[in-house]
Structure formats: structure tokens, C-alpha cells
Amino acid sequence: MLIASWAVFGETTDDPFITFRYAANICSGYGPVYNIGEHVEGFTSALHLLFCVLLYVLLPGIGMLLKAKLFSLGCGLATIWLTGRLASRLHASLPALLAAQMLLACNINFAIASVNALETTLFTALLLAAVTAFYDELVREKGNLSSALLFLACLARPEALVYAAALIAFRCVWQRRKSLPKAFVGQWLLCFAAPLALFFCFRLAYYGYLFPNTYYAKAVAPLYGITNGLLYLRRPFLPSLGASFDSVWQAVLTIGFWALALAGFWRKRRESSAVLLGLLILGNLVFLLKSGGDWMSGCRFLIPVLPYITLLQAGALTGTAQVGEQTQQRRNRPLRGIQLGIAALMMAAL
């Protein structure tokens, strides 16, 4: 992953410089504005802006772009670690855990997102930490840490509300199924909604709108959003916006990517963990179909759910290996080499 990140380290868009200017104005005492005296929320991530301010103050002698890229890279590495942590919480085997981390780390789009100097990997890591804590709370039948982490995720990206809706629905169903006290949902919802409401009040009072300007820029026609959102899904391995299936190999890889995730979901469809991961991926699909994706390289709008996709893919791979081992015991056929060959071929393709 570090090698891939180094290879694409020079890939930079103009978006982070918008946040840098807001951060510079804050440090200069003008407040969170792009032009002095004009209250327009032209940045997407309030939390990323806060980190940029800290980088300005704590490391004044280093270029801001370099600092922001290294911060994104650190969040990308944390995402890989958190993917393994969630896998262990879901009682995945060690091969499945490592396979999920490898599939994530070897994805070139994840490498681009890890050095884009934006909030992509920060948001992904926060959402992943929230989901991990959320699942722990379901098992222990108590706790509200995930609500605080989910609030921070909402500060990182406004579409976190879509994933929050999925988690709220899942928690309500879990509360009814397990006959838990209503406080299991009520307290969690209060810990999430109360600080979020205060943040929205501040945003409305200071900027005059409930959402950032970038959110309203994504208000596209429904047909445009659906068409381009579906086309966006063909890019899990294609780093360029204009990339298309110029070879059969690329088409096979993309189809295989989604087919493997579906196979992993189908294999564990009766388990609560698979349903939870499926809901999060579905929430991402809703956001893509509404927004139509974006113009940047790296397929960054798919990155937040890439860890969950790789977990399902790893489950499909290890499930196939388990079936192979059972067949080997029954028929005494040496299938391990074939299984390893398939896994190695997929890694090489990535």
C-alpha cells in the first residue's frame, strides 16, 4: 500500500486548497471563511478543516499540502488496521482477516484516496471505528461509544447521515428481537442527535444553511444521478475518471469484484454481521445514485464502504477454501495449491 501510495503521491486536485484557505483564514483571525466577510461554507468536512488548522499551528515550517497528504496516509493505514479489528470482532478466521486487509491495501483507488489530502480516509476510518464499536454494543447489549464516533463521522462528511440511518434501523430491529430496554436505542440516539443538532444550529446561524455548499452542488437530476451512479460502480479498479473497459480483463475484474462480494454476502446472509455490512453498502449505493459520483480520480465515493466489501470478499474466498478442504478430506485430492493459486492471481490482478 505504501508503494502504491508513493506511485500516486503527486496526484492532487484543487479541492484540498479550498480547505487550506479556510484554515489559513481561521489562523489569521478571520474565521471559517474563504473570502473575508463572506460567510459561505465552501468546504465539505468541518472535522478535516479542524485538523488542517492544527497542522498549520503545530507544524508551521512544513508545506500544507505535504502535511495534509501525510495525514490522509496515516488515516489510510489506520483504516487497514481497523478493518482487521472489525474482522476479528466478526469472528473471522486469520486467513479471512488478512485477506480483507490485503484486498483493501492492494486497491489502487484506496492508495489514491490515502494521499489525496482530503477527508476521504479520515471519514472512512471514523465510520469503520463507529461500526466496530456499534457491533460490540450489539453483542454486549449496552454502550453508546459508536454514537459519538458516528457524530464525528458526520462532521467529516455529510453523507454519514445515510449510514447513521442504516445503523439506527438495525439497532431498532436488534432491540425488538432481543427484547432489550428502549433505552438501548433511546440513549444511543440522544448521544448522537444532541451534539449533531447543536452543530446544525451553529451552521445555520453562521452560514444560513443546514448543509455545506458542496452538498447543494450535488443536487442533480434523478436520471443523471442514477445513470452516472451505476457507471461509477464500474471503477473499483480503474483510477481514472475516463477509464473504461478497454479490455476483457478489466471487465472480468470489475464483474468479479462485485460477484465475489455478493458471494460473500450470500454465504453469510443469515448472520447479523452480513446484514449489517450489506446495509452499509446499500447506503453507499443510495448516496451514489443520488449524487451520480464525482469527477475526481480514485473512485473516492466508494472508499468509505471498501473495507466492508473486502470483508465480504474475504469471506467468500475463505469459504471456498473451507469447501475445498472438506472435499480434499473426502476425496483425498490436493486442492490447496489450486486455492492458493486463485488467491495469488487475484492479488496480482489488483
Total number of domains in the chain: 1
Does residue 74 form part of some domain? yes
The pLDDT of residue 336: 54
Q: Alpha-carbon distance 146 to 188, whole Å?
A: 8
Contact present, 62 and 20 (Cβ < 8 Å): no
The answer to whether 178 and 141 have CB atoms below 8 angstroms apart is yes
pLDDT score at 342: 56
At 296 the pLDDT is 84
Residue 5 in any domain: the answer is no
Residue 33 counted as domain residue:
yes
Give, for all 350 residues of the chain, the pLDDT tens digit. Answer: 999 899 999 888 889 999 999 999 999 999 999 999 999 999 999 999 999 999 999 998 899 999 999 999 999 999 999 999 999 999 998 999 999 999 999 999 999 999 999 999 999 999 999 999 999 999 999 999 999 999 999 999 999 999 999 999 999 999 999 999 999 999 999 999 999 999 999 999 999 999 998 888 878 888 989 998 888 888 887 776 555 556 677 778 888 899 999 999 998 888 999 999 999 999 999 999 998 888 888 889 999 999 999 999 999 888 654 444 444 444 444 555 555 555 555 555 55
Report yes or no on 2 lying in a domain: no
- 217: how many CB neighbours lie within 10 A of its CB? 11
Domain contains 121: yes
Answer whether residue 104 is part of any domain.
Answer: yes
CA atoms of 329 and 333, how far apart (whole Å) = 8
Q: Is residue 4 part of a domain?
A: no
Q: Which helix (H) or strand (E) holds 228?
A: helix 222-232
Q: Residue 57: which of 8, 24, 101 has the closest Cα? A: 24
What is the pLDDT at residue 236? 84
Nine cell digits for residue 344: 495469488
Q: Which residues contact 65 (CB under 8 A, 6 or more apart)?
A: 12, 16, 17, 20, 117
Predicted pLDDT of residue 161? 95
Give the residue from 349, 350, 199, 220 showing the smallest Cα distance to 292. 220
Q: Let me know if residue 111 belongs to a domain.
A: yes
Task: Specify the 3-state DSSP secondary structure of 292.
Answer: coil
- C-alpha span between 153 and 174 (Å, rounded): 22
* CA–CA separation, 243 and 251 (whole Å): 11
Q: How far apart are the first and last CA of the chain?
A: 11
The domain containing residue 125 runs over which residues? Answer: 10-349
